[in-house]
Structure 1
Amino acid sequence: MNVRKITTIVEEIVTEGGQPVEPVARIAVVAAVIDNPWHGQGFVADLAEGIDATASDLGGLLAPRVVEAIGAPIEAYGKAAVVGLDGEIEHGSALIHTLKFGDHFRNAANATTLLPAVEKRAAAGTTFDIPLKHITDATIRSHHQSVEIRVADAPHAGEILIALAAAAQGRPKQRLAALSTEQ
Structure 2
Amino acid sequence: MPDVILRKTIASYEEIFHEGGPAPETPQRRAAVLAIIKNPFAGRYEADIQGFMEDLKPLGLQMAQKLLDILGGPENIEGYGKGSLVGEGGELEHGALWHAPGGYAMRQLLGNANAIVPSSKKVGGVGARLDVPITHINASYVRSHFDSMEVGSNDAPRGDELAFALVMSTGPRIHSRSGGLEAWDIKGEDGLR
TM-score using structure 2 length: 0.86
Displacement of 1:130 after TM fit?
A: 0.6
Aligned length: 176
Structure 1 counterpart of 2:49, one-letter code: L
Note the aligned Cα RMSD (angstroms): 1.5
| Structure 1 runs (4+) greater than 4 angstroms displaced | none
Mapped pair 1:74 → 2:77: yes
Q: Is residue 160 of structure 2 the alignment partner of residue 142 of structure 1?
A: no
User: Aligned equivalents of 2:18 and 2:145: distance in 1?
Assistant: 17
Q: Of 2, 6, 9, which aligns to 1:3?
A: 6
Correspondence for 1:128: 130
Distance 1:70 1:118, change over 3 A: same
Match of 2:162 among 160, 174, 178: 160
Is 1:108 the equivalent of 2:109?
yes
Alpha-carbon displacement from aligned partner over 1:98-147 (angstroms, at most 9, x marks no partner): 2x442111122231111000000001111211100000000110000111
C-alpha distance in 1 between matches for 2:17 and 2:96: 34
Q: Is the 8 A contact 1:37 1:50 kept in 2?
A: no
- TM superposition shift of 1:179: 4.4
Q: How does 1:4-153 map to 2 (within 5 A)?
A: 4-40=7-43, 42-52=44-54, 54-71=55-72, 73-94=76-97, 96-98=98-100, 100-109=101-110, 110-153=112-155
| In structure 2, C-alpha distance between the alignment counterparts of 1:21 and 1:179, rounded to whole Å | 20
C-alpha displacement at 1:55, in angstroms?
A: 2.1
Aligned to 1:85, the other structure's residue is in SS state: coil
Q: Which runs of 5+ in 2 are unaligned?
A: 183-193
- TM-score, with normalisation over the residues of structure 1? 0.90
Q: Secondary structure at the match of 1:33?
A: strand
Normalized per residue, the structure richer in strand is 1
Q: Judge conservation of contact 1:84–1:122 (CA < 8 Å) in 2.
A: yes
Identical positions, percent: 35
Higher mean alpha-carbon deviation, 166-175 vs 59-68, is at 59-68
Partners of 2:34 and 2:152 within 8 A in 1: no
Amino acid at match of 2:159: A
Counterparts of 1:104 and 1:50 in 2: how far apart (Å)? Answer: 15
